[in-house]
Amino acid sequence: MMNELLKMSKGNKKLKNTLIFDLPAGKTCPMANECKSFVVMNANGKTSIKDGENNIFRCFAASQENQYPNVYKARKYNFDLIKNSLISDAFKDNKINTINLINKSIEKHINKNIDKVRIHSSGDFFNGEYLRVWLAVARLNKHLKFYCYSKSLHLFGTNVSIPDNFFLTASMGGKMDRLILARYPQFKRYAIVVNSEDEAIKKGIEHIGRPYEIDKDDSHCFKPDPFALLIHGTQKKGYFKNLK
């Protein structure tokens, strides 16, 4: 199994110097709520999107997987490899196989210009063991900045030690939103999805007394304050019409 490595991609002009690791949208996001959606593939290789019961807007990553089947397959490959590695580690009561798997995959894909690793532009931490693997990988690579958006806030308990080069942004719209206020300032950096700049201004004034700044290049993931993200990706028919 260790001969196989994870698939990773390099960021575009907006995410310069960034290595990106992804898992399947929705299926690895146990605490997703308002954005819960995921892709299923039938026996003929045809994909379609399924929405969660409380879905308000579709996850852009799920829309991506539905539009590009190879993206779906790559993320599923990563998930299968990670799951199998974690199962192997469980029998040994350690996480060494999975740590090595991720670390060697980073070494394969990295180049001299890469100084950041985005964990999950699609997907999330689906359990505590998996989160602790990534924290261990960050400690082994102090020259890199690791960052993520997550709705699995319950996994970041007070007993979880987060290295200085690991940057978490709490993602609003999940089942654990209450922890953002309950554990302030642990989750003082959070992101909220908005439909427009006007909504970012209005909600920001309501929530924090000033407009939310809109992040367009993940730079706010390294700042201490909450911010907004503009909705993107293919939405359900009539979504934007219903906003009017």
| Confidence class for position 238, pLDDT limits 50, 70, 90 | low
54: closest CA among 147, 173, 170, 206?
173
| Confidence class for position 241, pLDDT limits 50, 70, 90 | low
Calculate the dihedral angle through the C-alpha atoms of 156, 8, 59, 221, rounding to the nearest 10 degrees: 50
For residues 196-201, give the mean pLDDT: 97
60: closest CA among 29, 88, 45, 38?
38
| Confidence class for position 89, pLDDT limits 50, 70, 90 | confident
Summarize pLDDT for 135-149 with one digit per residue, the tens: 999 999 999 999 999
Write down the pTM of the prediction: 0.93
Cis amide linkage into residue 185, ω under 30° from 0: yes
24: closest CA among 83, 85, 86, 71?
71
Between CA 244 and CA 230 the distance in angstroms is 17
- pLDDT at 1 (0 to 100): 46
